[in-house]
Structure 1
Amino acid sequence: MDTKFEFKKPNFDNIKENMRGFKEKINLKREGKQALKVAGIAFVILLIVSVIASSVRRQFLDGMGNINMFSILLGLNLVGVRIRSNGMMMFSSSTINIGIIILLLIPILALVVANIFIYRRKIETIDRCVVEALKVGFMYGLLLAITSIFSTTRINLGMGNMFGFGNSYIAIGYKFFPAFGNGFLIAFLTSAILNYRKEFHGEYYTTDIISDAVKEFLKLSLIILVITVIVVFTKNSTLYDFGLSDYSKGGAVVAYIVQMAAYLITIAIGGIVHIGDSSSMSIFSIFNSATFTDTKLLIRIIFCVFAIAMIFVGANIYRNYRFENRKTVLHFSIAFGFLVGLVAKFSSISLSGSVMQNMSSMDLAVRAGTFTTFVIAIISTVIFTEIGYRIAPHVDDLFR
């Protein structure tokens, strides 16, 4: 029986296709881990900053107190502090929001560095850009939430036994879901805005509108920041109404200026800022309020700046998005109102929970309703942007 062996030439095209498919699978696996790497790198950067801050604080306190570095890390992300006490202390169960908004620059910068380092190659589609930002937000929020479990610091005071009340202590920590929520918002928005501006600017209508809202918000914030700087260094008494003027001295002046600018943005756009237990301030009530005349004048000026800026924005929307319909004004206003709502959320300094009578004073509590500010900001922005949208064609006709 004769057996013939036939030598077949290898099909190199199939081998190439298989190798290409194998490489694509590897790339997909790598891409799937990119979000985790971004969140992890940002978390490590913040952890290093927290360790340094903890060491510096201990040095200044001469070794008094055990400062939890995880508490500092979560504090940089403006997560509300939960305080529980047992014994003769003033608090039984309270939550403190320390909304020193300038602290957000540290996690934002950490996330920017991580994004630039990991996403060095071009992101091919806007869908992947959004998905990657969502994954980064989820991973970063989850890392903060897990950290909140280990962040509780218990301080034993040893005072209760002297009076027969048992051991007295304070437990300071953070809640799981607020930590996740803050981390998700900060990481998602930072990653989405950064990668979009780098890759897809000018290619998509929806994202361009959001990008324009971010750009205009930053411009307005910068203008208000400059006005606040001038006011603080020329006539500091203008801002006594906020109850935080004592912090405008020394090294805290930068944080103070940014904080005041955040409150002024909220008020000028129509939001309501609550000061203490009984006082509140908004553009609608400023005319009849008991605030100083200089503060009233300042808020009126900032309101006029906002109104003029939005009128110009409306005119630009007409010129740049004329192929769209008037809904562009609404889309821009929603994005802009969302940013103002974020400022209201993260800039709140407040104390809530059960408080003893000797701690009933809350003069330093300055807070704004996030949802209320969001809705009012949308309405205010729609009104002035619509004015600019309507008058733009008539102005263009005059210069033809």
Structure 2
Amino acid sequence: MDNNKYKYKNYFKEDGRSVQKIENNKYTLKKLENSTCVICNKENNKQSSYCKHCGNNLSEVEENNLIKNEIKDSKSLKHILKNINFKKASITSLCSILILFIVALIFKLLMGLQIREIGMLINPIHIVMGLNLGHIDISSSGMLGSGGISAHLGILVFLIAPILALTISNLLFMKKENTDAKSTLLNSIGVGLTYGLMLFVLSIFTKIKTSPFDMMQYQMSFEVSYRSLNMFFNGFIIAFLCTYLIGFKKSYEKDNIHLGIMKKAISTVFLGYVVVFLILTAITLSDKSYLYEFGMYGYTKDISTSLVLTQLASYMWGFANFIPLTISSYTISIFNLLGSDLFLNTKLIFIAMVVLSSLIILVVGCNLKRKYKDDKKNVVLIFSLYYALFMGIVALFSSILIGGNISSIQISNYQGAISLGLPLISTIIRSFLYSYIVAGIGYKLYVFE
């Protein structure tokens, strides 16, 4: 639609929307106290709105301070917190934690049957923290020395449990509260805050100090704890996104352009991940050799190939956004791919992922033009900001980092590190630039009638 032909009109004839977007609610007419016309200087009745001699308006336009104050108040933190239903949010979060606790009890029982020593060392709260991808610290001390290990096991498949728990709880307690776009957003924040706070409190009680049975004679002790702030941050993100996506309705996009574009950014990241996972699964069914070159073939000996693929899919989607992928000491990016020692077939897989991501984001850019063609805001920029944010969350959650040293019976000090994943800062910057350029091209290329 060509806005130039509506330059001198107030409304679109197709749907009646305002062309000029005049914000009349910010202003009001105030009757002048003096009934003398300022144009012809003749006297009028006090009740007159217009001069009976020359027709001049006897009112003045002033800014509506009441509405101005309401807008200011609506942006304050106090106003936001006041409009969150914390009672229902707390019930939803508590129910989710209880569901996870039941899952953890079952998991602990199964673990105890397989590995009795480990099953007795950990408690269900540790498992709940692990399912929310918490960062754990383990320190040891004894006659043979001391040391510590810091580990973040960002195995994405673990998120299935908290996602299902939050989904069930939201459908039971929060669905009726999300009546519009504003309430959905605010209640999502409420569930995120209460869920994160509960994990924060529980993480304080995960700190334990114990001595393994076979090491009592060496007078060794281990101290295990989860990082509380990390648990709050993880809990807020997981609960907020689950609640928001469950309560979001398509009609809300008309209320706030940011809500619709944010959902589109989340959907794009999720779609890319799923498509990459399906392609990797199809390739793996015919040939697993590429996993060896990725440095992940060894992991399939201890855990299922499907679990490895769910993790690898997130890394490959990041690589497809021009983000360097790190596997142990090996880092590969689009810039060193051709000069690497990888086989040609493996290089083609990487290149195919880049082409795939370009097509997906190009289509997103076209969709943004079709959907928001009459909006004056830079929708591509808004999309890229949200897209980069959620890609950063993927990088943060999917990283597997194990480092440090810990005393052992066989050797005085064991040193080693495992690093798998995408760098956080680089992921945010590169995914923003990549999506802004590619989506921008799609936006420019799309032609509508």
TM range (shorter): 0.7 to 0.9
Q: Which runs of 5+ in 1 are unaligned?
A: 1-27
After the TM superposition, which residues 55-204 of structure 1 pair with which residues of structure 2 at under 5 Å, given as runs?
55-62=109-116, 65-87=120-142, 92-121=147-176, 123-157=178-212, 167-197=219-249, 200-204=252-256
Deviation at 1:193, TM superposition (A): 2.0
**Partner secondary structure for residue 172 of structure 1:** strand
Task: Tell me how many residue pairs correspond in the alignment.
Answer: 363
**Partner secondary structure for residue 389 of structure 2:** helix
Read off the aligned partner of 1:197 and give its amino acid letter: K
After the TM superposition, which residues 261-280 of structure 1 pair with which residues of structure 2 at under 5 Å, given as runs?
261-276=313-328, 278-280=329-331
Read off the aligned partner of 2:97 and give its amino acid letter: F
Alpha-carbon RMSD: 2.5
For the 8 Å contact 1:83–1:91, the answer to whether it is kept is no
Choose which of 292, 305, 311 in structure 2 pairs with 1:259: 311
For the 8 Å contact 2:140–2:406, the answer to whether it is kept is no
For the 8 Å contact 2:405–2:414, the answer to whether it is kept is no
**Which residue of 1 is the match for residue 386 of structure 2?**
335
For the 8 Å contact 1:275–1:365, the answer to whether it is kept is yes
Looking at structure 1, the residues matched to 336 and 233 of structure 2 have their Cα atoms a distance apart, in angstroms, of: 32
Q: Which moved more, 1:82-91 or 1:202-211?
A: 82-91
1:388 and 2:439 equivalent?
Answer: no
Deviation at 1:187, TM superposition (A): 0.7
Identity %: 26
**Which residue of 2 is the match for residue 322 of structure 1?**
373
Deviation at 1:368, TM superposition (A): 1.8
Deviation at 1:212, TM superposition (A): 1.4
**Partner secondary structure for residue 173 of structure 1:** strand
After the TM superposition, which residues 283-298 of structure 1 pair with which residues of structure 2 at under 5 Å, given as runs?
283-298=334-349
* Structure exhibiting the larger radius of gyration computed from Cα positions: 2
Q: Deviations over 1:27-81 (max 9, x none)?
A: x999430000110010000000001100111112246633211111000000011
Q: Deviations over 1:90-134 (max 9, x none)?
A: 861221011111111110111111111112325234222222111
Looking at structure 1, the residues matched to 306 and 101 of structure 2 have their Cα atoms a distance apart, in angstroms, of: 24
Looking at structure 2, the residues matched to 44 and 231 of structure 1 have their Cα atoms a distance apart, in angstroms, of: 39
Looking at structure 2, the residues matched to 348 and 219 of structure 1 have their Cα atoms a distance apart, in angstroms, of: 20
Q: 1:287 to 1:36 in 2, by over 3 A?
A: same
**Which residue of 2 is the match for residue 13 of structure 1?**
none
Choose which of 241, 246, 268 in structure 1 pairs with 2:298: 246
Greater helix content = 1
Q: 1:353 to 1:296 in 2, by over 3 A?
A: same
Deviation at 1:386, TM superposition (A): 1.0
Deviation at 1:232, TM superposition (A): 1.8
**Which residue of 2 is the match for residue 306 of structure 1?**
357
Q: 1:297 to 1:89 in 2, by over 3 A?
A: farther
Choose which of 284, 289, 296 in structure 2 pairs with 1:232: 284
Looking at structure 1, the residues matched to 208 and 253 of structure 2 have their Cα atoms a distance apart, in angstroms, of: 46
Q: Which moved more, 1:208-217 or 1:291-300?
A: 291-300
